[in-house]
Amino acid sequence: QGVSAVRLFPLSGHILLSCSMDCKIKLWEVYGDRRCLRTFIGHSKAVRDICFNNAGTQFLSAAYDRYLKLWDTETGQCISRFTNRKVPYCVKFNPDEDKQNLFVAGMSDKKIVQWDIRSGEIVQEYDRHLGAVNTIVFVDENRRFVSTSDDKSLRVWEWDIPVDFKYIAEPSMHSMPAVTLSPNGKWLACQSMDNQILIFGAQNRFRLNKKKIFKGHMVAGYACQVDFSPDMSYVISGDADGKLNIWDWKTTKLYSRLKAHDKVCIGAVWHPHETSKVITCGWDGLIKLWD
């Protein structure tokens, strides 16, 4: 069954976490035999998103069974579970070292909900979107986060303040269900449903960069993940045809297209150290390592 997301182990990238429509989460070796090290079973419906903590010792999962679960990476145990009885579409730990007990999840009921792992309680709700929340990305040295929604807007929040301090919505905008921060922290790459990748500034003004628009691929409504090469030379994204698209960051020209999957190529991540390696996942149930 289809693989919905892949995440590399923080810093080293030597192991890989994947989540799937078969309700399972798996941990894989990136090098050597590339074998499956562990399978995490406990969700009763498709798993939509996963997120490691900074150390990689634990991770969160969000699934259509309406549960968010916290897992021990090493033992495979489910440590705790959280729900507000709605479907969580995305989940992120607060990346600050002193706030690793806190996480936020974007929900089907338009809210972003903040939990404290220690108490298991909901400690904050960010309730301003007018549609389901698709993405959450921390910016500005983790003082703020950006969210996108089915309401076609992009909102910027100060951590722990439940009112958005910036709201970006133009009549011409489409929904942007996949957003990635660039390695230098300056740009947000947003997969827009009109088959282009838009670039917004990630500091202060959050302005659209009209000189940087990446197109030539078809996403057909899928939330295909966008990523950057570590040196910012390239931008990559999967598409609805199962292709991996590679653009030149400077010129925005489509540099290469590879047939990666038989169905949608939903995930694409560039390895942080092996600078020629890209990992993709698709709805054909495969995870592939490209050189």
For residue 191, give Cα distances in angstroms to 119, 156, 159, 179, 186.
Answer: 35, 17, 24, 6, 17
Q: What's the whole-model pTM score?
A: 0.96
Residue 147 CB neighbour total at 10 angstroms: 24
The mean per-residue pLDDT over the stretch 71-97 comes to: 98
Task: Tell me the average pLDDT of the chain.
Answer: 98
Pairing of strands 78-82, 68-72: antiparallel
Q: Exposed, middle or buried: residue 207 (CB in 10 Å: 0-12, 13-18, 19+)?
A: exposed
- Cα 247 from Cα 265, distance rounded (Å): 16
Supply the pLDDT for residue 258: 97
- Cα 51 from Cα 38, distance rounded (Å): 16
Residue that has been written with the tokens 């989940």 in this structure: 91
pLDDT, tens digit (0-9, with 9 covering 90-100), for 171-225: 999 999 999 999 999 999 999 999 999 999 999 899 999 999 999 999 999 999 9
The mean per-residue pLDDT over the stretch 1-24 comes to: 97
Q: Can you give the length of the chain in residues?
A: 291
Residue-range domain boundaries for the chain: 1-83, 170-291
**pLDDT band at residue 138 under the 50/70/90 scheme:** very high
Which residue type is seen at 35? Answer: R
Which residue type is seen at 137? Answer: V
Q: Does 1-83 match 170-291 in CATH topology?
A: no
114, 106 Cβ separation under 8 angstroms: no
Is the pLDDT score of 92 beyond 90? Answer: yes
Contacts of 116-122 spanning 24+ positions with Cβ under 8 A: 117/70, 117/80, 120/80, 120/82, 122/84
Is the pLDDT score of 116 beyond 90? Answer: yes
pLDDT, tens digit (0-9, with 9 covering 90-100), for 33-67: 999 999 999 999 999 999 999 999 999 999 999 99
Which residue type is seen at 62? Answer: A
What DSSP state is assigned to residue 142?
T
Supply the pLDDT for residue 204: 86
Pairing of strands 25-29, 36-40: antiparallel
Domain 170-291 belongs to what topology? Methylamine Dehydrogenase; Chain H (2.130.10)
Give the full edge-to-edge strand order of the sheet including 3-8: 3-8, 15-20, 25-29, 36-40
Supply the pLDDT for residue 13: 96
The token pair at 275 is 């600078």
Residue 97 CB neighbour total at 10 angstroms: 9
**pLDDT band at residue 280 under the 50/70/90 scheme:** very high
Supply the pLDDT for residue 275: 86
- Cα 206 from Cα 202, distance rounded (Å): 5
Q: Three-class SS of residue 99?
A: helix
**CATH tag, 1-83:** 2.40.10.480
Give the full edge-to-edge strand order of the sheet including 166-168: 133-139, 144-149, 154-158, 166-168
